[in-house]
């Protein structure tokens, strides 16, 4: 790749670049080698709670599978338990499983919702992701201030307008 760009791969500053890039890509795609079950472990607990739980502003970093350029932002995950809750730190770990891979934001948002739904069988789950994509900011249309918002609403978050509105209002209003 360096030679294709017109660089001298033997130049001092570039001599170890292939190894550094390989190490970096392995770290940035670590989610491909993890499972949700591994990161959740024993972090699911029986609880008789029926109120919405929201973990907001979870930072994520990912690589666009089309250009292998980063996209990053924040994800908000909410759910209404149905007899089980998950340890709060497990939710960002689930986000990392799906964000730390070659990915598209649209799929990542759905995968996170599906994982929460599969583990907890909640009454409803909602995931909203807001991301900035360097493939749009640095190349192509070069729109530095653009962002992309995706959502996946399941169960009562999709079927009950009151629940959906409560969740979306929490996402928008809590600092």
Q: Report the domain count for the chain.
A: 1
| Contact between 123 and 90 (Cβ < 8 Å) | no
Give the Å distances, CA to CA, from 119 to 4, 39, 170, 174. Answer: 46, 12, 23, 26
Q: What is the chain's pLDDT, residue by residue, as a tens digit (175 residues)?
A: 899 999 999 999 999 999 999 999 999 999 999 999 999 999 999 999 999 999 999 999 999 999 999 999 999 999 999 999 999 999 999 999 999 999 999 999 999 999 999 999 999 999 999 999 999 999 888 888 889 999 999 999 999 999 999 999 999 875 5
Whether 111 is covered by a domain: the verdict is: yes
Which has the closest alpha carbon to 76: 56, 59, 105? 56
Q: Looking at residue 54, which CATH number applies to its domain?
A: 3.30.1130.10
Confidence at residue 173, expressed as pLDDT on a 0 to 100 scale = 78
Whether 22 is covered by a domain: the verdict is: no
Residues paired with 173 in a beta bridge: none
Whether 7 is covered by a domain: the verdict is: no
Q: Which residues are catalytic?
A: 64-67, 105, 133, 135
Whether 19 is covered by a domain: the verdict is: no
3-state secondary structure of 116: helix
Whether 119 is covered by a domain: the verdict is: yes
Task: Return the axis-axis angle of helices 90-99 and 105-120, rounded to nearest 10°.
Answer: 140
Whether 25 is covered by a domain: the verdict is: no
Whether 134 is covered by a domain: the verdict is: yes
Residue 110 C-alpha from the chain's centroid: 10
Tell me which residue range forms the domain holding 113: 34-173
Whether 99 is covered by a domain: the verdict is: yes
């Amino acid at each position: 790749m360096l030679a294709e760009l017109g660089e001298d791969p033997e130049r001092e500053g570039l001599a170890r670049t292939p190894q550094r890039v390989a190490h970096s890509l392995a770290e940035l795609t670590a989610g491909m080698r993890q499972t949700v079950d591994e990161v959740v472990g024993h972090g699911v607990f029986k609880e008789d709670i029926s109120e919405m739980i929201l973990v907001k502003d979870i930072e994520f970093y990912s690589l666009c599978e089309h250009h292998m350029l980063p996209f990053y932002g924040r994800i908000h995950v909410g759910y209404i338990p149905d007899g089980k809750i998950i340890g709060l730190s497990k939710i960002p770990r689930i986000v990392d499983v799906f964000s730390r891979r070659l990915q598209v934001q649209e799929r990542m948002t759905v995968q996170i919702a599906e994982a929460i739904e599969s583990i907890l069988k909640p009454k409803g789950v909602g995931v909203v992701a807001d991301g900035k994509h360097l493939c749009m900011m640095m190349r192509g249309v070069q729109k530095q201030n653009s962002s992309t918002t995706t959502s996946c609403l399941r169960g009562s978050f999709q079927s009950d307008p009151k629940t959906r509105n409560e969740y979306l209002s929490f996402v928008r209003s809590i600092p």
